[in-house]
Structure 1
Amino acid sequence: MTLTPQLLEVLRTHIAGRVVGADDPAWDLERGAWHLLADQRPAAVVHVTGADDIAATIRFARRHELAVSAQPVGHGASPAVNGTILLRTGGLTAIDVDIASGVVRVEAGVRWRDLNDALTGTGLTSLPGSSGDTTVVGYTLGGGLSWFGRKYGQAANTVRSFELVNARGDFQRVTHESDPELFWALRGGGGEFGIIVAMELELRLAPEIQGGRMLWSIEHARDVLRAFADVTATAPDELTLWAWLLNLPDVPFVPEPLRGRWVAAVDSTFLGSEEDSEKLLAPLRAVAEPIADTVARVPLSELGSIAQEPDEPVPGLLKTVLLSGFDSDAIDSLLEVAAPGTPSPLFAFEVRHFGGALARPDASQGVAGVIEEPYFLLFGGFVAGPGMAEVIEAAIEGVEAKMSPWITGHNTPNFSTTEPLTALYSADSLARLGAIKHRVDPHATIRGNRPIA
């Protein structure tokens, strides 16, 4: 059944929040995603004020054979929302920190920057990623790859409880004790099993954090990447390094000396003292004197500034792959296909070091499980005008072909785009997820951005 104007008016009578239909002048803005190239076409958008609005929407959808999806602030764009009633849960922003027990409760719209601010100075942290703009809930449902993941694993495995509205429209608190199978599925299985209202997360120790970016002229790229590979080969779990080849655009938000230039960079975080951080980073600084070096003690509130990711929506195309290794041959191949110093439609190549706790299995983990691959490669470009998407897509395919000897074919839910579910989960995990989905939502009323068949 479709959502007619008459049904839209009926829905409005049940909702305290704002209900937006396709006839609204702001419809294109309302249906849009953070990823500006995503053409999402839901049946309606509902800005919820709390669990009651979520429950009323789900019950309405069940009565009229519709589906419901959630996208708090626009991240996680997916064609799966097409035809659904899209819930905007970004207005649910409560944060309750219990320092004594080391637990924090966050509602569905809380962004990482806000949680980091709330925890600054406590000596405790959750497991934030590189961007402060994404929501804690959306990130965690996909596993959650953190700056501190090598030490503490994926964020999904720190969840103590979920508060959700289920496919019947009932409020439910899910823990390992109340429903171990559903609890397992929610920790990395995405938004297929209920609409999350809030989560409780166990916090981790972070009494001192060092972090920042080192930047070099592009002629040092090969030596920087080799030093990065050497340091990561023996790095302690407390150290996380991400290496970059950056093709910086000639635009005002880039510092003037760097506009229109290629540079090499390494971002780092270290859970420990400045002295130990300096020792570990010394081989990188020995390559050549960086043209910029911001590594220093960093408060949790500033963590999102290290990778300098944009907070505003951008029209970009990105691809991520997992790598079996990053040896000298892989470095040479990456440099050959990136061709730094020459014109390119791609603006960034990022190599992240994984391993550590991310690769260690534990019986208490959710479906996010472990990531066996030690490295991750991200690359892409800005779609600055007509015809650029095709050019960037061709360049992305060229990178994939060149790096194919190291690409494993797996990916992580947080970074997946067009990959099949078999690239994200094992066959056993997919079968288990499917059985749980059928049990808790047999009519597929709830639709995540990666639907479970």
Structure 2
Amino acid sequence: MNTMNINGTVLLPGDAGFDEARKPWNLAVDQPVRAVIEAADADDVAAAVSYARLNGLAVTAQPTGHGASGDTDGTILLKTARMNSLTIEDGIARAGAGVKWGEVLAAASPLGLTGLAGSSPVVGVTGYTLGGGLSWFGRKYGFAADSVRAFEAVDATGDRVRVTAESDPELFWGLRGGGGDFALVTSVEFDLRPAPFLYGGRMMWPVERAQEVFEAFVETTAEAPEELTVWFDLLKFPGGPGFVAVDSTFLGEHPGDLLRRFDRIGGTISDTRRPMPVAELGSICAEPTDPSAGTGRFELLTGLEGVADVLLGAPIDPLISVQVRHLGGALARPAEGGGAAGSLAEPYSVYMFGRPSRETAERIAGLTKELVPYTSGCKPYTMLAQGEQAASAFPASTLARLRDLKRTRNPHGVIRANFPVLA
């Protein structure tokens, strides 16, 4: 690989720092790779793709590694964290491939704007958006992918390209929610949304209140406006008691009485709800910001009737959390000129998470089986987990179109996504 003109760093097996560099954010996922390139710029990305094409290899990109699948055997792992330029002008953000959502929110917040970020500030903008991107504000504004105006990318021949609805409508469609199997994105340009006011936080009770809280969740979400998003959480931290929590955001000064049903439930342990700057969005769930090991499974729920019997019938141990999210709103409507992310007919989702172990895997498998009558069997690409396939994320017609795009634009598999569409 010394024939590549790389401005960043190239690490090979046996080099100091190689084993650390090949790790994703989720330390439970092993990534056997041929080499790691820590790219300094888009020219490095182009050089890596050209080298791989000439030598019959594949390149997989990783801004942070939150969505790592472990399907990297024999590939060149392209780390893009150094490509972290960020500008905001006229309500449009331009983020390099290494930019994280917390950086976007910190820059947008003083302007009264927000990006369509999820629960964690350390998730990368690019990978999240390529997978669709399920945001706190998706009920109001849809998938993050549908706010994209343009991608700067390197195609499978090693050429740098600008991809827009006008320049390359089919690739533009595929990159907005179809994953990174078609080109390596070096930066993304997207619309920010108005957020002059934000109210949000977490209410928490002892787990014994779970039935009351779930009933309030059902009733609240049945009438919630699109500006309000509410998530229900069962929490069990190792060595501690169980809790039930409700996380919420409201795009406005105050939700008024929209959360009144939760206010009426006694025994609250804590309540962090408050007016907050968008920059503090990640504080609501307070997820770990350092790499750690975890395993989880995401499912879309067709409704909530019967779900409480499954989730509340026994303690969630050894899981750390089980979260039910309210979806709907703009997520349920096809966006005008939308991308491969499409829309979600299912009004809710459930995510089960724990530390990797045989017991955790068995508990997740058991809950998943019990939930089968209430799940659709589909899930957004951005929520696929290790061992799952892209086919689970798309309707048959969308999957066929993505596979055609893959065969046309990347026929030799020079570029490999975490979850290849042809698998």
Normalising by the smaller structure, the TM-score range is over 0.9
The Cα RMSD (Å) is 1.2
Matched, 1:68 2:37: no
Q: What is the alpha-carbon distance in structure 1 between the residues aligned to residue 399 and residue 309 of structure 2?
A: 37
Q: Which residue of 2 aligns with 1:367?
A: 340
CA deviation vs aligned residue, 1:92-143 (integer Å, no higher than 9, x gap) = 1111101xx3211110000011111001121111101000001111100000
Matched, 1:280 2:262: no
Q: Which residue of 2 aligns with 1:4?
A: none
Matched, 1:234 2:223: yes
Contact 1:33/1:77, CA 8 A, preserved across alignment: yes
CA deviation vs aligned residue, 1:216-269 (integer Å, no higher than 9, x gap) = 11111100011001100110000000010101224xxxxxxxxx1111100000
Instruction: Look up the equivalent residue of 1:426 and give its one-letter code.
Output: P
Instruction: Look up the equivalent residue of 1:176 and give its one-letter code.
Output: A
Q: What is the alpha-carbon distance in structure 1 between the residues aligned to residue 114 and residue 322 of structure 2?
A: 28
Matched, 1:164 2:144: no
CA deviation vs aligned residue, 1:138-176 (integer Å, no higher than 9, x gap) = 100000000000000000000000000111111100000
How big is the shift at 1:362?
2.9
How big is the shift at 1:289?
4.3
Q: Which residue of 2 aligns with 1:34?
A: 25
Matched, 1:315 2:304: no
Q: Report 1:213-228 matches (<5 A).
A: 213-228=202-217
Q: What is the alpha-carbon distance in structure 1 between the residues aligned to residue 368 and residue 399 of structure 2?
A: 26
Contact 1:334/1:402, CA 8 A, preserved across alignment: no
Q: Which residue of 1 aligns with 2:92?
A: 103
Contact 1:42/1:86, CA 8 A, preserved across alignment: yes
Task: Tell me the matched-pair count.
Answer: 421
Aligned mate of 1:411, from 355, 375, 379: 379
* Same amino acid, percent of matched pairs: 45
Matched, 1:436 2:409: no
Aligned mate of 1:339, from 307, 315, 322: 315
Q: Report 1:152-231 matches (<5 A).
A: 152-231=141-220
Q: Max radius of gyration: which structure?
A: 1
Q: What is the alpha-carbon distance in structure 1 between the residues aligned to residue 237 and residue 28 of structure 2?
A: 21
Q: Which residue of 2 aligns with 1:450?
A: 419
Q: Does the residue aligned with 1:312 lie in a helix, a strand or coil? A: coil
Instruction: Look up the equivalent residue of 1:291 and give its one-letter code.
Output: I
Contact 2:233/2:245, CA 8 A, preserved across alignment: yes
Q: Which residue of 2 aligns with 1:302?
A: 280
Q: Which residue of 2 aligns with 1:396?
A: 364
Question: Which blocks of at least 5 consecutive residues in structure 2 are unaligned?
Answer: none
Contact 2:389/2:420, CA 8 A, preserved across alignment: no
Q: Does the residue aligned with 1:405 lie in a helix, a strand or coil? A: helix
Matched, 1:10 2:3: yes
Q: What is the alpha-carbon distance in structure 1 between the residues aligned to residue 322 and residue 335 of structure 2?
A: 32
CA deviation vs aligned residue, 1:307-334 (integer Å, no higher than 9, x gap) = 111111222111111111112x221221
Q: Does the residue aligned with 1:226 lie in a helix, a strand or coil? A: helix
Q: Does the residue aligned with 1:287 lie in a helix, a strand or coil? A: coil
Q: What is the alpha-carbon distance in structure 2 between the residues aligned to residue 152 and residue 412 of structure 1?
A: 16
How big is the shift at 1:363?
3.7
Q: What is the alpha-carbon distance in structure 2 between the residues aligned to residue 317 and residue 156 of structure 1?
A: 25
How big is the shift at 1:271?
0.5
Instruction: Look up the equivalent residue of 1:146 and give its one-letter code.
Output: S
Q: Does the residue aligned with 1:172 lie in a helix, a strand or coil? A: strand
Instruction: Look up the equivalent residue of 1:10 and give its one-letter code.
Output: T
Q: Which residue of 2 aligns with 1:86?
A: 77
Q: What is the alpha-carbon distance in structure 2 between the residues aligned to residue 104 and residue 380 of structure 1?
A: 32
Q: What is the alpha-carbon distance in structure 1 between the residues aligned to residue 283 and residue 29 of structure 2?
A: 26
Q: What is the alpha-carbon distance in structure 2 between the residues aligned to residue 190 and residue 81 of structure 1?
A: 15
**Bigger shift: 66-75 or 106-115?**
66-75
- What stretches of structure 1 move > 2 A for 4+ residues in a row? 8-11, 418-422
Q: Which residue of 2 aligns with 1:5?
A: none
Instruction: Look up the equivalent residue of 1:54 and give its one-letter code.
Output: V
Contact 1:185/1:433, CA 8 A, preserved across alignment: yes
Q: What is the alpha-carbon distance in structure 1 between the residues aligned to residue 409 and residue 62 of structure 2?
A: 20
Q: Does the residue aligned with 1:35 lie in a helix, a strand or coil? A: coil
TM-score, length-scaled by structure 1 = 0.91
CA deviation vs aligned residue, 1:287-311 (integer Å, no higher than 9, x gap) = 2242100101011110011011111
Contact 1:314/1:382, CA 8 A, preserved across alignment: no
Q: What is the alpha-carbon distance in structure 2 between the residues aligned to residue 222 and residue 377 of structure 1?
A: 16
Contact 2:318/2:363, CA 8 A, preserved across alignment: yes
Q: Which residue of 2 aligns with 1:256?
A: none
Q: Does the residue aligned with 1:431 lie in a helix, a strand or coil? A: helix
Q: Which residue of 1 aligns with 2:45?
A: 54
Contact 2:384/2:390, CA 8 A, preserved across alignment: no
Q: What is the alpha-carbon distance in structure 1 between the residues aligned to residue 293 and residue 395 of structure 2?
A: 32
How big is the shift at 1:79?
2.4
Q: Which residue of 2 aligns with 1:257?
A: none
Q: Which residue of 2 aligns with 1:263?
A: 243
TM-score, length-scaled by structure 2 = 0.97
Instruction: Look up the equivalent residue of 1:281 and give its one-letter code.
Output: L
How big is the shift at 1:10?
2.8
Q: Does the residue aligned with 1:80 lie in a helix, a strand or coil? A: coil
Q: What is the alpha-carbon distance in structure 2 between the residues aligned to residue 194 and residue 102 of structure 1?
A: 26
How big is the shift at 1:390?
1.1
